[in-house]
Amino acid sequence: MQELRKDFPVLNREVDGKKVIYFDNAATSLKPQIVIDAVNEYYSEGTANIHRGIHKLSEEASIKYEKAHDKLSEFFGAKKEEFILTKNATEAINSVMYSLFIGDFFQKGDKILLTEMEHHANLVPWQLLERKGIVKLEFVGLNKDFTLNMKELEEKIDSKTKLVSVAHASNTVATINPVKEIGKIAKDNKSLFLIDGAQSAPHTEVNFKKLNADFFAFAGHKMLGPSGTGGLIAKKELLEKLEPFQYGGSMIHSVEFHKSSWNELPWKFEAGTPHITGMIGLGKAVEYLNKVGMEKIRKHEKELTKYALEKMQEIPSVKLYCPKDEEKQAGIILFEAKNIEAHDLALTLDEFANIAVRSGMHCAEPLVSKINPKGLDRASFYLYNTKEEIDELVKALNTITESFK
């Protein structure tokens, strides 16, 4: 894994003579040269819109776009028709919410079951339906070790629960949720099941067919792809029935002044000019991930997490809020330091040690503010991180916490 660091130009960057240590991977990942090159090549050698012109440049761009599209559906074990490019995971979840909403899927009195560890992206969209008085949101809580309370989930789901929507892995407490099991419970209850895979897809193999899910949302930019990329994978049978929620060019089959019909899948759900370079770059990103191997990536990250858990628990005034077992978690350490506010600690780490961590509410305010109303810090790992970088973090935390005693 050490070898592949050279593929990421940012890792060679020095500030004040020191290498940057990037531990903010849960927010977005660094990009390998192969992705940067693919994006540059489109702009420098062949910019054209897709699925429109019949000239050479447009043909070339369309082929590249569709090849990347196919690669993505393959990567996720989905059918070609089941993959829709979005600008991020948030847009993917919002698309599902709006499609269900405008298709009158929910009836007054229905319920949506979420968990207390959801990112705002899998909470705020559903609140719209609650505000409209259509559904009631219910939440499954956590056990003391930050795992999901499955007993509570089974108790809360009932015939009124029309949708269960959960994070595959939490972006704060790091827990990996048993999504196959949750999917089975949802299916037995005839509920739709959505997985927010923003924190799982970059780190572990995801096979949509095996997940018991109707929808899977992910963030391409967190898995080496360009900014502004994400995706929605959804069962073909559902997509055929669902109403698209964005209308215009590309997504139509034919248009009259007063009515239109829709394009075939997946294009029915990609209205307007898509993020062409994004898709091409994301295709290269999954090519890269496949080359390294998702199993190898997960193994490496588990080793890093185990190491970080051990070392960080030894720092006297640092407290961790995540499962202490690397098998149960997604390579994220959520922590606080006694007497130091989260942003101050993150700033100090950045200023004095060139270490990038995230601080604050982490877009999961209901849960994080319950743990600490002033916010927490988060170090999150990816394939290019090393134990030596974790040593640097531990060293810096020891020095900083000593001086704030």
Ligand X SMILES: Cc1ncc(COP(=O)(O)O)c(C=O)c1O
Q: Catalytic residues, which ones?
A: 363
Tokens 């350490």 belong to 333
Minimum Å gap between C-beta 104 and ligand X is: 26
One DSSP character per residue, 201-236 reads TTTS---GGGTT-SEEEE-GGGTTPPTT-EEEEE-H
Minimum Å gap between C-beta 122 and ligand X is: 6
Which is nearer to ligand X, 333 or 394 (by Cβ)? 333
Q: What are 405's two structure tokens? A: 């005693």
Minimum Å gap between C-beta 278 and ligand X is: 12
One DSSP character per residue, 245-302 reads S--SSSSEEEE-SS-EEEPSTTGGG--SS--HHHHHHHHHHHHHHHHH-HHHHHHHHH
Q: What are 227's two structure tokens? A: 């900014």
Residues forming contacts to ligand X in the complex (CB under 6 A) are 26, 88-90, 119, 121-122, 167, 171, 196, 198-199, 219, 230, 363
Per the DSSP assignment, residues forming a β-bridge with 319 are: 336
Minimum Å gap between C-beta 114 and ligand X is: 12
User: Distances in Å between the alpha carbon of 87 and those of 90, 95, 116, 199, 297?
Assistant: 8, 11, 25, 16, 25
Which is nearer to ligand X, 242 or 367 (by Cβ)? 367
CA–CA gap between residue 48 and residue 61 (Å, rounded): 6
| Residue 162: DSSP 8-state | E
Which is nearer to ligand X, 78 or 166 (by Cβ)? 166
Which is nearer to ligand X, 89 or 297 (by Cβ)? 89
Which is nearer to ligand X, 183 or 340 (by Cβ)? 183
List Cβ neighbours of 102 (8 Å cut-off, separation of 6 or more): 243, 245
Residue 165 gets the label, from left (phi > 0), alpha (psi -120 to 50) or beta, of: beta
Contact 213, 179 (CB under 8 A): yes
Minimum Å gap between C-beta 53 and ligand X is: 30
Which is nearer to ligand X, 73 or 115 (by Cβ)? 115
Q: What are 289's two structure tokens? A: 């991930």
Minimum Å gap between C-beta 378 and ligand X is: 10
